[in-house]
Amino acid sequence: MVILGKWRQQSVTLSFKPNALTISLDGQEGPRVFSYDLCGRLWTAMLRQVSYRRGLNGKVVAKWIAPDGSRGRRWLEPEEANHLLSEASEIATHLLQATQTGEVLLSEKPSEDELTFLSRAAAYQADIATADAQQYHAVYKPVGILPPDQYMAVVLQLTEGCAFNTCTFCTFYRDRPFRIKKPPEFREHIASVKKFLADGLNLRRTIFLGDANALITPMPQLTALLDEVHNALDVEKLGGIYAFLDGFSGEKKSREDYAQLAHLGLKRVYIGLESGDPELLRLLKKPGHPADAITAVREMKAAGVAVGLIVLLGAGGHQFERSHVRETIRVLNEMPLDADDLIYFSELIESEGMPYVQSAFEERLQPLTSDERIHQGELIEQGLRFTEAGGTPHISRYDIREFVY
Ligand code: SF4
């Protein structure tokens, strides 16, 4: 229900949805918008022309567009994040009081349930947020990365870590060995995730199986673990199951396997293709060969499972610039991609201590600038061909620095 009102010389909109509460104010301070899940957790905010996205782990990323049109982004310090929470909580608190005193003129009176959600948003201050983040860390091993369209998923860590952990450009799972959970442990994990999300569960849009390679799990174990998911959650209502898979190696699944997984709710598999150039993959220490990725995608698509391909822009610098573009176009064009699929262009982000930086130094690789990386993505995109009948996959950028969960 949307309730409109006037309060302290500003217009107010209270939007109560089945999965979220949004408070919008427009007055002298300009538009301010705060959204909360039904536990009262601040989820997004927009004020003073800066938009904020807050993860379940309590971290907040701020994004804005500068007057010259350039985009800015930074992660808030904990004190800044607390300040944002205080501002959001204060507005919810005052609005709640105003509804009780009649100080705010509303088009409709909020229901008891709606007032409960508003009071939860009012109570969500730094101390509650800290306890909430502690509970998050008790439930999850750090969630390293998700595809951008999965930031609102319910993450279930069916496995932990990465079975390979060799890729020089990836440091997401260096802190933990790969392991597959046994059904009792996974059952407990799902229960603790549900308890943690509580009323916030219905803001989540899909189920994402963590960590990096959950689908490498052999079929008998995997189906038993997926049964645990079905026993605890309404998979279809939540939008189905999604996961990463390293398409190049490990236990290879057949078309029949993928059909069985589709029957169990698997909707899309995300594959870190990185490049179609086998020489570049060797340099990156990415296991396997692009031909295996082509085979895996064909099997998935034939079984009715969509795919998301991730291409690493800038990898190998100028030395691999042409072969990376050429071979990636060739490999993607050999995949039966259609409008159900996604292609992400992810810029290589070098950081201190990343093995790629050392190997780039040893190989005397000349790095591409950010603009050149973006141009590389454009060149790949220009070379892609899709069938008219199948349509074009959704193609977009994937900036891992903006990942929030
Ligand atoms: S296979 Fe994927 S998760 Fe594992 S190290 Fe390579 S890029 Fe990282």
What does the pLDDT read at residue 102?
A: 87
pTM: 0.95
Tokens 């985009």 locate to 71
| 252 has pLDDT over 90 | no
Region 131-160 average pLDDT: 96
What does the pLDDT read at residue 248?
A: 62
Asked if the peptide bond before residue 211 counts as cis, ω within 30 degrees of 0, the response is yes
Dihedral angle sign, alpha carbons of residues 80, 82, 84, 86: negative
What does the pLDDT read at residue 18?
A: 95
Q: Give which of 300, 327, 183 is closest to 245, Cα–Cα.
A: 300
Average pLDDT, the chain: 95
Region 30-42 average pLDDT: 97
Region 159-176 average pLDDT: 92
Cα of 342 to ligand 1 centre, how many Å? 19
Strand ranges of the sheet holding 342-347, from the earlier edge strand across to the other edge: 154-157, 207-210, 241-245, 266-274, 306-313, 342-347, 394-398
What does the pLDDT read at residue 52?
A: 98
Region 57-74 average pLDDT: 94
Pocket test for ligand 1, best of 141, 167, 269, 310 (most atoms within 8 A of CB): 167
| 207 has pLDDT over 60 | yes
What does the pLDDT read at residue 125?
A: 93
List pocket residues of ligand 1, CB cut-off 6 Å. 162, 164-167, 170, 172-173, 212, 246, 272, 286
| 130 has pLDDT over 60 | yes
Cα of 201 to ligand 1 centre, how many Å? 28
What does the pLDDT read at residue 226?
A: 98
Domain residue limits, the chain: 2-131, 140-402
What does the pLDDT read at residue 249?
A: 58
Residue pair 281/167 in contact by the 8 Å Cβ criterion? no
Retrieve residue 361's tokens: 């130094």
Q: Which atom of ligand 1 is nearest to the CA of 171?
A: 8
Q: Residue 353: pLDDT band by 50, 70, 90 thresholds?
A: confident
- Report the distance separating Cα 185 and Cα 191, nearest Å: 10
Region 136-147 average pLDDT: 96
What does the pLDDT read at residue 305?
A: 98
Residue pair 134/187 in contact by the 8 Å Cβ criterion? no
Cα of 400 to ligand 1 centre, how many Å? 14
Cα of 317 to ligand 1 centre, how many Å? 20
Region 109-121 average pLDDT: 95
What does the pLDDT read at residue 349?
A: 92
Region 382-400 average pLDDT: 96
Q: Residue 115: pLDDT band by 50, 70, 90 thresholds?
A: very high
CATH class of 140-402: alpha beta
Q: Give which of 146, 149, 99, 91 is closest to 121, Cα–Cα.
A: 91
Q: Residue 246: pLDDT band by 50, 70, 90 thresholds?
A: confident
- For the chain, the first-to-last Cα distance in angstroms comes to 27
3-state secondary structure of 334: coil
Region 195-206 average pLDDT: 97
What does the pLDDT read at residue 247?
A: 59
Pocket test for ligand 1, best of 146, 169, 173 (most atoms within 8 A of CB): 173
Task: Count other Cβ atoms within 10 Å, centred on residue 116.
Answer: 14
Segment 286-312, tens digit of pLDDT = 998 999 999 999 999 999 999 999 999
Q: Nearest-5° angle of CA 242, CA 243, CA 249? A: 145
Cα of 176 to ligand 1 centre, how many Å? 13
Q: Residue 344: pLDDT band by 50, 70, 90 thresholds?
A: very high
